[in-house]
Chains A and B, each alone.
Chain A
Amino acid sequence: MKLLATYLVGLVFGVGISISGMANPAKVLNFFDIAGAWDPSLIFVMGGALVTTFLGYKLVFGRAAPVFDSAFSLPTARAIDAKLVGGAAVFGIGWGIAGFCPGGALPALGTGRVEVVLFVAAVVAGILIARGTTATFVRRVSA
């Protein structure tokens, strides 16, 4: 029951990503190209998602606990440090090069397109590299 509900949540997310244009690198890159073939559609994706989540979370957090667990599992990290900002900057560079972000690419895997599979495999390789070098990175940027 819990896993079926989770599957359906994933399906809603995937349908949202697919019809929004986030799964289409041409559209994503054109959003970021204000000096060129600018396509402002992604403002509407971000705005729609943010307002809905903001209001939805307000309702959900009125409950003592989620339906299938005894407590909400919210991120506990608070520090705004070099790892957060450096990581976000690196992510932005990669997003600008490839045009896919993880949230756009995962549902797009379902199209069976080989480019999407390649991108996701490369992301997994990047996750592996970062997991191996996180300690070094933090030492270097905070030195």
Chain B
Amino acid sequence: MIETVFTPWASLAGGVLIGLAATLLMLTLGRVMGATGVLSGVIFPASGAEFAWRAALLAGMVSAPAAIWQVMGEMPAVEVPVSTGALVIGGIIVGMGVTWGSGCTSGHGVCGMARLSPRSIVATVTFMAFTFATVFVLRHVIGG
């Protein structure tokens, strides 16, 4: 476990930027901003046009740490408190879950919830509950 500092203002500002990006994507392309859809659409594109905008969006996302480094002089913190095995197993499970559940934190949790979509509300409540439960079991039941 790694202690982290409570950052309400940075997190709020980051959240507002995430919401601004979701709004701008709807304004420009008329699309929902979902990281799952972006990744799936770049790797398994349905057509050239479907690939192009997702690739551009992904390129913008990946450029962000360098942009932050330019302005603030350091890369955003990425602290990984779990083993490599947990990263890989967790990643495979995440990939399966977001495919079956048709979305993740950005698609369901932000865009879908903002549209008051019942599917997204059910999905978000479900994955949040399971993430709380998983972390509790891993840190306090098994690892406690």
Known interface pairs A2-B53, A49-B15. Does A110 touch B106 (Cβ–Cβ under 8 Å)?
no
Q: Complex Cα distance A59/B76, Å?
A: 32
Q: How close is B52's CB to chain A, nearest CB, in angstroms?
A: 6
Chain B residue total in the interface (Cβ 8 A): 113
Residue from A11, A92, A110, A115 whose CB has the most chain B CB atoms within 10 Å: A92
Are the C-beta atoms of B1 and A75 separated by less than 8 Å?
no
Are the C-beta atoms of A108 and B78 separated by less than 8 Å?
yes
Q: Complex Cα distance A126/B56, Å?
A: 23
Q: How close is B97's CB to chain A, nearest CB, in angstroms?
A: 3
Report chain A residues within 8 Å CB of B129.
Answer: 92
- Chief secondary structure at chain A's binding surface: helix
Known interface pairs A9-B60, A11-B60, A75-B117. Does A32 touch B17 (Cβ–Cβ under 8 Å)?
no
Range class of the A interface residue count: 35 or more
Are the C-beta atoms of B98 and A29 separated by less than 8 Å?
no
B-contacting residues, A20-51, CB 8 Å: 20-27, 29-30, 32-37, 39-42, 44-51
Report chain B residues within 8 Å CB of A44.
Answer: 8-9, 11-12, 15
Give 18 CB contacts A-B under 8 Å: A2-B29, A10-B61, A10-B62, A30-B1, A34-B132, A52-B20, A56-B26, A66-B27, A75-B112, A75-B117, A79-B119, A84-B100, A90-B130, A92-B127, A92-B134, A96-B90, A115-B80, A122-B94
Which A residues have a C-beta under 8 Å from some C-beta of B? 2-27, 29-30, 32-37, 39-42, 44-54, 56-57, 59-61, 63, 65-69, 71-75, 77-80, 83-111, 113, 115-116, 118-131, 134, 137
